[in-house]
Amino acid sequence: GQQLNQSPQSMFIQEGEDVSMNCTSSSIFNTWLWYKQEPGEGPVLLIALYKAGELTSNGRLTAQFGITRKDSFLNISASIPSDVGIYFCAGHLRQGGKLIFGQGTELSVKP
Amino acid sequence: GAVVSQHPSRVICKSGTSVKIECRSLDFQATTMFWYRQFPKQSLMLMATSNEGSKATYEQGVEKDKFLINHASLTLSTLTVTSAHPEDSSFYICSANHRQGALTDTQYFGPGTRLTVL
């Protein structure tokens, strides 16, 4: 089936460092969404991207919808311990359709 | 805005019993909701798409007679795990599709339900 390739799988960084993760696909997506999930909780939406080339920020988070519609990245600047969690990219191939998920990036931040 | 609730958050049941999980969109209407299952350290696995007023669409390999889905209103979908067995123990998460305008579908997730079948 359709897949999103998300990398890296895990990251161990020092507090204050910047973080970058990305997702790529062989298919064209209508929407790119970035979520964060903490243990025992459902995913929480961080950023939603709807147009090719769109660059959106949410506090220390910045994400972009690739111009080819086949990729997206998420950057976190000046990481803090509460950034710890698993980050998922997800995309819609069509409006109202099911989400395709990346495999997740597990982020660990050392104080 | 765009809050989705799930109830219960945790449930423990005996093998052979049925368990119902509710998913509600609290501040928006959702014609489409989704049910996922998640195993530890893995991504979400879509089980079915719940459509208001019509039958759910199940993913390949998901037994529709075991996982009954009802989407009776624009703010409520329920998942019933029938005749639960220990292998059904998992984290179940729902999401609701929020459409604010053309080409702006966004899925918001509930907090999840931890099911343990003894």
Condensed to tens digits (0 to 9), the pLDDT of residues A80-105 reads 999 999 999 999 887 767 899 999 99
My answer on whether omega of the bond before B40 falls inside 30° of 0, hence cis, is: no
Tokens of A58: 């949410």
| Contact between A99 and B107 using a beta-carbon 8 Å cutoff | yes
pLDDT tens figures, A33-53: 999 999 999 999 999 999 999
| Chain B residues in contact with A102 (beta carbon < 8 A) | 43
DSSP string, A37-89: E-TTS--EEEEEE-STT-EEEETTEEEEE-TTSSEEEEEE-S--GGG-EEEEE
Q: Name which of A33, A99, A101 to mutate to probe chain B: the one with the most chain B Cβ atoms within 10 A of its Cβ.
A: A99
Q: Which residues contact A19 (CB under 8 A, 6 or more apart)?
A: A11, A13, A75, A76, A77, A79, A83, A107
| Contact between A31 and B43 using a beta-carbon 8 Å cutoff | no
| Chain A residues in contact with B103 (beta carbon < 8 A) | 30-31, 50, 95
pLDDT mean across residues, chain A = 93
Ranges under pLDDT 70 in chain B: 1, 102
pLDDT number for residue B41: 82
Question: Nearest by CB to A41, which of B32, B95, B112?
Answer: B112
| Enclosing H/E stretch for A110 | strand A105-110
Tell me, what amino acid is at A7?
Answer: S
Rg of the Cα trace of chain B?
Answer: 14
Q: How far is CA B92 from the centre of its chain?
A: 6
Which region holds residue B112: left if phi is over 0, alpha if psi is between -120 and 50, else beta?
A: left
| Chain B residues in contact with A48 (beta carbon < 8 A) | 104, 106
| Contact between A40 and B114 using a beta-carbon 8 Å cutoff | yes
- A and B: number of Cβ contacts within 8 A: 57
pLDDT number for residue A97: 77
pLDDT number for residue A96: 67
Token pair 């089980």 in the structure block, residue = B47
b/e sequence A55-66, b meaning 16+ C-beta within 10 Å: ebeeeebbbbbb
**Residue A9, CB half-sphere, CA atoms under 13 Å: how many?**
3
Sign of the torsion angle spanned by Cα atoms A4, A50, B94, A43: positive
Q: Which residues contact A107 (CB under 8 A, 6 or more apart)?
A: A10, A11, A13, A19, A76, A79, A83, A84, A85, A86, A87
Question: Nearest by CB to B103, which of A42, A95, A101?
Answer: A95
pLDDT number for residue A1: 56
Q: Name which of A2, A23, A41, A49 to mutate to probe chain B: the one with the most chain B Cβ atoms within 10 A of its Cβ.
A: A41
CB A34 within 8 A of CB A43: no
pLDDT number for residue A64: 97
pLDDT number for residue A93: 80
pLDDT at A68 over 80: yes
| Contact between A98 and B99 using a beta-carbon 8 Å cutoff | no
pLDDT number for residue A94: 76
